[in-house]
Structure 1
Amino acid sequence: MEVFHFKASKGMDRDLYEAVSELENICRDHDDVRLKLELDYKLAKADTPDENSDEKLDDFTCWDGHRLVGYLGIDDFGGRTVEVNGMVHPEYRRRGIFRELFRQAKMEWEGRDSNEMLLLTDRKSKEGKSFINGTGAAYDHTEYEMILSDGLFEEAKGFSKDLVLKEATNDDAREIARQNSIYFNEELADQELLDIDLEKKRGFHVYMAVVQGNIVGKVHLHLTNGEGGIFGLGIIPEWRGTGFGRELLLRSVHKLKELGASYIFLQVDAKNDTALGLYRSCGFKESYSMEYYKLNKER
């Protein structure tokens, strides 16, 4: 009789990071699909704890002896929504492991203030879609991950505007929250104020886009192990149609390269044709598609 050991953890330490990374590589090679586990950010978050926030159970694991055979993670970035993604070792599937991991994670989510859970799966994953269909979650949207082609970027680069990047401070936290509420169509009250200094320790560099003394937008740049990500890039509505979005993107790429990034990526809603056109024109191309399915507590 098989006996598996399930465990829920607060914070990701180096040993768990290594074990989950190894399992992720096994699953990616076997299935040819991508996962969105945010392991680097979780590790950095554990290394730089926020004294003002309570640690939560975010990492759910299944072990066969000392071998990690299943993992499911909750990504909670604040606000009303959490994201969930996970995997089971190819040799241990169809034994109810992922169902139990999800049951535990769902119980944890039920006790939180967030009202929505987004279940993620690579568009190519038949197993992922099959499991999600059984949860009752409804399709919400698809995101493309896009990677920068240096050759295409070299053809596109060139600055013509007066926009500059100003490193954000904690004094900008309320403005950042206000812009996030605009870009992500969420209530301002649902936005948590960032601790900019703490985010920088975790590899996130936040910049305000400034034109002649006016804040016109912002961007969050993440760097770890030479891999750079562009997140939360946006221009305030009254400043759109001016070319500042393209300028902000190009300057963000240059800033990541200055910080040491050799690989740069971003994520975009598959239906956002305006953003897709902008990113493609600046040298980005689609890498893979991640589908999001929403589960509400009232359901």
Structure 2
Amino acid sequence: MPRQGLSRHELDAIRGLAEICERHDGIKLKLNWSMLESRPAGETNDLLVYERGRLVGFCGIYAFLSTEAELSGMVHPDYRRRGVFTQLAAKAAQLCRERGMQRLIYICPRNSEAGQSFLQRQNLPYRDSEYAMELSNASAVPLSAASLPSGVTLRQGGKDDLNQLAELNRVGFGMSQEEATSLAAATLTPLEIPYLAERDGQAVGKLNVLFNDSAGLAFVFGFAVKPEERGRGIGRAMLSGVIERIRKERGLARFGLEVAATNERALGLYESCGFRTVSVIDYYTQQLN
């Protein structure tokens, strides 16, 4: 059942199914709840399968770029090996092709036997892995009083900063101009706030925060510092400063983020700020053209 936007009843059913799967498999699914709770009308991003009025399968499409989408989902333990997720994935691929996307990225917890088995049967190539990290009680973690370098200030950004955010995406993540702009535009939503570090009015670094108020969680992503500005303490000061600001302004004490498994420098930074690894997420790619 393709859905354009999710009702409260459907969100509750998805949450219930996730709890069953996580408890049965001993895993933590990545379902991007903030996005599920604010799906745009007029665009199909979620696929649901019911059996006798019971939700038994779900697949969500998460598009951050115009060229690709991420997929995450699950099937009730009692309904596996019946082709349920195979059908969901095929329908998701069809929808993404119709939107002109070039590839799908499958999200799978490393310790999910069901997910890993599905991906092996599909013979999809492994792309990379990330550590999912969490700072579970920020109010109890004594962040260092790291200060921004002289002349650098930290402020909240917005739609007027689209060009600067896009440029930081381009130089920070090696994206094309089109992808960098698409990502910057996609992350300017009511639930997301960009923060910019600036020198003389020019952005030298940024990070985004996605708020999941129902879970009491702030998710940090899109962390980038211009190459020529790295190694000066800007990244650590930005992260510490944003955490402190959110703690004071919104009363949130839980923060999450993801970091590439190969990025030892960033991993060390996050650990020094109190973040701890809670799971490992593997990504697999399917080309659509």
**Fold shared per TM-score above 0.5:** yes
Deviations 1:119-175 (A, max 9, x none): 111000121111112223210010111111547973442133344321213221011
Partner of 1:77: 64
Which of the numbers 220, 237, 243 marks the counterpart of 1:230?
Answer: 220
Query: Could you tell me which amino acid in structure 2 is paired with residue 28 of structure 1?
Result: E
TM-score normalised over the length of structure 2: 0.91
SS state at 2:231 partner: coil
Once the two structures are TM-superposed, the CA of residue 84 in structure 1 deviates from its matched residue by: 0.4
Once the two structures are TM-superposed, the CA of residue 260 in structure 1 deviates from its matched residue by: 2.2
Query: Could you tell me which amino acid in structure 2 is paired with residue 8 of structure 1?
Result: P
Partner of 1:166: 155
Query: Could you tell me which amino acid in structure 2 is paired with residue 220 of structure 1?
Result: N
Query: Could you tell me which amino acid in structure 1 is paired with residue 254 of structure 2?
Result: Y
Partner of 1:177: 166
Which of the numbers 26, 36, 39 marks the counterpart of 2:30?
Answer: 36
Partner of 1:206: 194
8 Å CA contact retained: 1:146, 1:286: yes
1:186 aligns with 2:175: yes
Deviations 1:180-216 (A, max 9, x none): 12233221112327559961x2x21111112454421
1:26 aligns with 2:13: no
1:98 aligns with 2:85: yes
Whole-Å separation in 1 of the counterparts to 2:20 and 2:99: 32
8 Å CA contact retained: 2:159, 2:188: no
Whole-Å separation in 2 of the counterparts to 1:218 and 1:110: 32
Mind listing any 5+ residue stretches in structure 1 that lack a counterpart? 1-6, 50-54
8 Å CA contact retained: 1:118, 1:294: yes
Whole-Å separation in 2 of the counterparts to 1:177 and 1:213: 16
Whole-Å separation in 2 of the counterparts to 1:11 and 1:268: 29
Deviating above 3 A after TM superposition, structure 1's stretches of 4 or more consecutive aligned residues are: 149-156, 193-198, 211-214
Whole-Å separation in 1 of the counterparts to 2:222 and 2:96: 24
Once the two structures are TM-superposed, the CA of residue 58 in structure 1 deviates from its matched residue by: 1.1
1:196 to 1:274, Cα distance in 2 relative to 1, 3 A: same
8 Å CA contact retained: 1:221, 1:256: no
8 Å CA contact retained: 1:173, 1:193: no
SS state at 1:71 partner: strand
Whole-Å separation in 2 of the counterparts to 1:266 and 1:25: 21
Which of the numbers 185, 208, 232 marks the counterpart of 1:220?
Answer: 208
Whole-Å separation in 2 of the counterparts to 1:89 and 1:196: 31
Which of the numbers 118, 124, 130 marks the counterpart of 1:137?
Answer: 124
Identity of aligned residues (%): 31
8 Å CA contact retained: 1:37, 1:86: yes
1:208 to 1:135, Cα distance in 2 relative to 1, 3 A: same
8 Å CA contact retained: 1:231, 1:266: yes
Whole-Å separation in 2 of the counterparts to 1:70 and 1:157: 45
Whole-Å separation in 2 of the counterparts to 1:153 and 1:182: 35
8 Å CA contact retained: 1:74, 1:83: yes
Query: Could you tell me which amino acid in structure 1 is paired with residue 245 of structure 2?
Result: K
1:171 to 1:84, Cα distance in 2 relative to 1, 3 A: same
Deviations 1:84-123 (A, max 9, x none): 0110111111222111111111111221222111011100
1:276 aligns with 2:267: yes
Whole-Å separation in 2 of the counterparts to 1:114 and 1:194: 18
SS state at 1:95 partner: coil
TM-score normalised over the length of structure 1: 0.88
SS state at 2:174 partner: coil
Over aligned residue pairs, what C-alpha RMSD do you find? Answer: 2.1
Deviations 1:265-289 (A, max 9, x none): 1111010111111111111111101
1:88 aligns with 2:82: no
